[in-house]
Structure 1
């Protein structure tokens, strides 16, 4: 009996040590725990783009976002509407909330339309990260901005000015949806840039919307040239729009006569840069944007940050970031692609 008691005691001690070791590793017995840097493992992270099957979001979500979620041992998913519209994302948010999603990373089609659903998701325990296009600040925890709106606006006006040349002329903007928060902010600031003396020879004559639909964007580009025969340049700060406009110009008599710039991915735009349709365009790395957004969400869901100004967190290979005013985190400055460098990139 004495030997049996000693054996039982030893087994109990061994189990206690084993349990303590698991606790130190962060395993709570449910399959979730704490990994490197205090980030919880097993986090359910869902990406909700403006629209699925958009090349830009395929890169941001399914490459960058998925890579990050894999690194911190979470569970990745992507869902969303096939067409970009203000209210199309609401039902997806509600479903993700009901599924107990820990982090919802969303690019908003409208700054207000999805706020009610996002607030309910937050009340249910989800952390909300907006990226690419923001909501009203009170509807989310953090906004991961690809670049400052001022930086993008200055960049776009600079590129179209250089492309058109010193004589200037009429220009137009081919945007995404009329309600897209980021697009509208950039357009407002582009108008501010155009009002400066150094840009006085550029005249904005029209702004049209392709709704991030390839065919509609193509038709809107065609319509601009029919409506404004003296048009010298088009700015399209949307990956779908700029590629569609380039496709139209490359096969028309306006190729080389009407200049085009905007925000596009290298893989979309290489052919049009190489054939002379486009001199230069800009973007950030969308994979890095999705990667940063995922890490920001993980830091929120792990209690490392709350979204307050001045807080810092580490985003894997991208390093440390500091949260700015209104819970905004900025990825970095836009990168300019030209014939000299576009072949070096693959996204």
Structure 2
């Protein structure tokens, strides 16, 4: 897989992307201990070799996570560790728990997980941490109590607001719009959607109305059906935002073969390879995404730094992340990859992932 050098390493809170609830993020923060558990970091400690790092995506055989975890595996190989990928075939709230328990029994050094539900996985992740396993979340966060650091694609606010801005430009800041999300409990998706709603409160969007948030559950056929349902329920719909790679591809496939092609704008988060034909046939004008391979790569290096004692997850700590350079741990143990890239007919052929 060749990646254009100018593609920035990164995010949007999510983020997509595919996505994946009882307490809110703020609730989770207040109940969580400080990241790092009081341990002291030694930034000069060598990166250990032979580390066992397991990747647990929201679901296996999802193109987005296949790319992300390949990037992670490349990083683990670079620092002479061992990697594996396990996970459910569906993105339900509790589907990852049994995998976490098995990885804990296998005594992995690091679990890298994209949480389907920010709270459902926490008890199992706490058990893993109590057993000495470091936990890195990527793409979609868990409650702070369940992990050491979160690798965020980009800032959640940037993603949520830019999604609205991209769509508004295409529909002249006027008309009814809908969101086609992943699952109702997806942490990153829900955070992005809150920022979308806040962005829509600005005066320049007074003629835009969010009429529906639909959920395709990161399933291709359900996302396709939900898109069809949106157009039936709102025949005057002007645009759809789908901040999930599965959702945007399914929505584009429906629109491309319908009378709504060219009349209903679609944007969101997708990979260039899956969206190229829809951009070229005029179904989609612009969409955005970060480099998922870099997301997995950074998550692996963060896990290696944690397991080697270079960082504990406390704000202000730094670590080297191979080709991505030095990264800094922010508030609540968040490490941001970087800003997403906007893809359109002018640049999409420059990317291959």
Fold conserved (TM > 0.5)?
yes
**Which residue of 141, 157, 160 corresponds with 1:153?**
160
Contact 2:45 2:310 in 1 (8 A): no
Structure 2 counterpart of 1:131? 138
Matches within 5 A, 1:98-109: 98-109=105-116
Superposition map of 1:37-76 within 5 A:
38-61=46-69, 63-76=70-83
Alignment of 1:330 onto 2:339: no
**Equivalents in 2 of 1:153, 1:144: separation in Å?**
17
- Aligned Cα RMSD in Å? 0.9
Alignment check: 8 A CA contact 1:155 1:334 kept: no
Alpha-carbon distance in 1 for matches of 2:64, 2:45 = 30
Correspondence 1:219 to 2:225:
yes
Contact 2:60/2:88 (CA < 8 Å) preserved in 1?
Answer: yes
Give the CA deviation at 1:37: 7.1
Offset, 1:200: 1.4
- Name the residue aligned to 2:280: 274
Pair member with larger Rg: 1
Quote the Cα distance in structure 2 between the aligned partners of 1:309 and 1:198: 36
Matched, 1:307 2:313: yes
Match of 1:259 among 253, 258, 265: 265
Matched pairs, number: 310
- Kept in 1: contact 2:45–2:309 (CA 8 A): no
Q: Tell me which residue corresponds to 2:237.
A: 231
Give unpaired runs (5+ residues) of structure 1.
1-35
1:88 aligns to what?
95
Q: Distance in 1 between matches of 2:154 and 2:288?
A: 11
Where structure 2 has 5 or more consecutive residues not aligned to the other structure, the ranges are: 1-43
How far 1:122 sits from its partner (Å)?
0.5
Q: How big is each residue's C-alpha offset from its partner over 1:282-331, in whole Å with a ceiling of 9 and x where there is no partner?
A: 00000000000000000000000000000000100000011000000000
CA contact (8 A) 1:173 1:234 kept: yes
Give distance in 2, aligned partners of 1:54 and 1:149.
22
**Which structure features the higher share of helix residues?**
1
TM-score of the superposition, structure 1-length normalised? 0.88
2:293 corresponding residue in structure 1: 287
1:51 is paired with a residue whose SS is coil
1:246–1:37 CA distance, 2 compared to 1 (3 A): farther
Contact 2:176–2:237 under 8 Å retained in 1:
yes
Structure 1 stretches (4+) deviating beyond 3 angstroms? none
The separation in 1 between residues aligned to 2:160 and 2:206, in whole angstroms, is 16
Q: RCO higher in 1 or 2 (8 Å CA, sep ≥ 6)?
A: 2
Per-residue Cα deviation, 1:29-51 (whole angstroms, up to 9, x for no partner): xxxxxxx9710000000000000
Instruction: State which of 159, 176, 193 in structure 2 corresponds to 1:170.
Output: 176
Query: TM-score scaled by structure 2?
Result: 0.87
Measured in 2, the distance between the counterparts of 1:149 and 1:81 equals 26
